[in-house]
Chain A
Amino acid sequence: MTTKSKDLSYYQRAKRQREILVSGAVTLLGIILLSIYLMPLGYGVITSLKTKAQVSDPDAPILPSENVVFTYEGERYDVLNVPTDDGIQEWALVKKGRGSSTFLDINNPEAGPIEWEGNWRSLEPVRELDVQWSNYPDAWNTIRFPRLLWNTLVYAFVTMIGTLIASSMVAYGFARFRFPFKNILFVVLISTIILPPAVTLVPTYAFFVNVLHWGGTWLPLIVPQMFGNAYNVFLLRQYFMTIPKEMEEAARIDGAGPIRTFISVILPQAAPALTAVALFHFFFAWNDFFGPLIYLAGNRDANPITVGLTEFNGLYNSDTQLILAAAIISMVLPLTIFFIAQRVFIQGIVITGVDK
């Protein structure tokens, strides 16, 4: 009896140990993969805080740092790590020489100059952590961020409202009503997803720019968003179909027409799906590049953040630290929204992901 329970507990212990080991290994693998995956973002943040000199120096340390300078009697000298009989000393280089150079001990400069035999070029400079926060205001001012952000935000919000209204209407139509050719129309709607936008682009462009003279304005980008889009309609329709029909019937008995039912019964019920669509759209608008590139050509004041960043990249391509600071500023808002709303967001994708 006792031996048996002992065996059992031994077996259970072994099993638990094995589980902990597996969990540890899997989690470790996850951490390693995640670090590799996020490494470029880390690089971006760190590099955006460096000086231009450090960014372009291949031998510079990884963290933002600056060579230490020693000021003595009004002169500025680089401080180097000098190997001496008493170990490595931090000395300021006063006079560079071929065979020997003159140094000052920064802790005791009154002791006078010290001659050091050897090539000063072989010595490592002393560095200290030095974070260039000023890169951010510099980037902000150079790139005219307020203008770019404003343009992008207006575009995102105006089209978000348009696409929410239109897509939810269309989704409701497909989810709840019977009408001729409904299935064919739905297949046509879904197949617009695989239609390359290039096919419609040339005539649409000609129409907007030559007939309506909307070139250089946001109208060609905003107006087409007002008619609903296949992804959003699909997602919302999936969601609407899960809402119990009884609620609408109750509203109908109370005398509400279809529009009234849609607004006061369906839309409030679908808040999570509508939020997901709003977020999807926001990220789409924040990222939109090709449309603004062709329609806003020639009107720099109208540029969104994406086009503004590429232009900045072209003009300041030797100032990597500023470009990276600008890139990071441009991702602050989307990432913040994502982290706040990630539950809704991921749920939204799951709704579209399942049930295909």
Chain B
Amino acid sequence: MRWQEARWGLFFISPWLIGFAIFYLVPMIASLVFSTYNFTLSAPDEARFVGLQNWQRMLFEDPKTWESLFVTFRFALISLPVGMVTAFLLAVLLNSKNLIGRNIFRTLFYAPTMVPLIAAILIWSAVLNPQTGWINRVVEFFGVQAVGVNGLRWLDDPSLIYIAYTFIGLYGIGNAILINLASLQGVPTELYEAAEIDGANWLRRLWTITIPMVTPVIFYNLILSVVGLLQYFIVPWVLNGGSGYPEGMTNFYMIYFYKQAFTFQNMGYGAALAWLMFIVALVITLFLFATGRYWVYYSGDTGNDD
């Protein structure tokens, strides 16, 4: 009977087992092997074994590797906190009993997430147009005269481009808002009532009850955002053509990988770059899990300490 149950279990998960073997396990190993060769797809027969040369070049001789990783991190450092804080605060707002028509607000705040990313990027690029877009009109309206004749050049000015990209990124935070919202609804109301009797004001309740109670979801959003930002590609690709313009600010890691693997057809080197991305993602995730022990609060594991 048990053997039969196991057989049925394996039968049901077999699509994933097969898919995992074909599309994850084998390609990952192959990718590691590929990274020790130099070859292009147009002439795969001329593949040449080079040992660890690709890895050596990537890690020690190619400044672009670290430069593009640095660019990606620098952008993440701006975009990640802005996105997460915005998603959290909007969820708090959408959870407020004082908000009239909550469901309509929830739907409308979620709607931009359903707009195809490419369409959103094209609209944003028009909104950010220095001469005719609305953003500069708003900036001018608030009396910023420093805008100059041509206006703020959001996508050409290295000091502004990440702000522009961060704005665009806010069109994808709908899922984070909803997950935050679901978790806010799970906070027991007794906690708030008790705090209210003790005289804690709104801000204090947010800080000492709400935030600790939703840290698991913040943690989950953090990991997904980090992994997503490491693969940041479409926005700079569509808006700045993957050229690195302006001043190398858009040389994101994924763009560098794409260019090496598919534009220059350096398949072996591309495979090495992809593996480095995986190692970086893994290290960051493990690091976050290690630190998570100190700040992520799971209501399930109380009681054992005292």
Contact = CB atoms under 8 A, between A and B. Distances in A.
A185 B13 contact: yes
Contact of B124 (A40, A58, A202, A328): A40
A153 B3 CA distance: 43
Contacts of A56: 131-132
B127 A43 contact: yes
B66 interface: no
A37 to B, nearest CB: 6
B123 A195 contact: no
B31 A200 contact: yes
A172 interface: yes
A196 B230 contact: yes
Given A202-B34, A206-B41, A226 B271 contact: no
Interface residues of B, number: 97
The prevalent SS among residues of B at the interface is: helix
A309 B119 contact: yes
B122 interface: yes
Interface residues of A, number: 95
Nearest to A57: B132
A327 interface: yes
A335 B115 contact: yes
A27 B119 contact: no
A347 to B, nearest CB: 10
Interface in A163-192: 165-166, 169-170, 172-174, 176-180, 182, 185, 188-189, 192
Contact of A203 (B27, B119, B122, B123): B27
B262 A294 contact: yes
Given A192-B24, A287-B116, A199 B122 contact: no
A177 B6 contact: yes
Given A194-B281, A330-B119, 8 more contacts: A40-B134, A169-B13, A185-B17, A195-B24, A201-B274, A294-B258, A349-B178, A356-B217
Interface string B258-278: 100110000100110111011
B120 to A, nearest CB: 8
Contacts of A192: 20, 24
Contact of A38 (B106, B108, B262, B271): B108
9 contacts: A33-B93, A44-B123, A200-B28, A205-B261, A330-B116, A330-B118, A335-B111, A350-B178, A354-B186
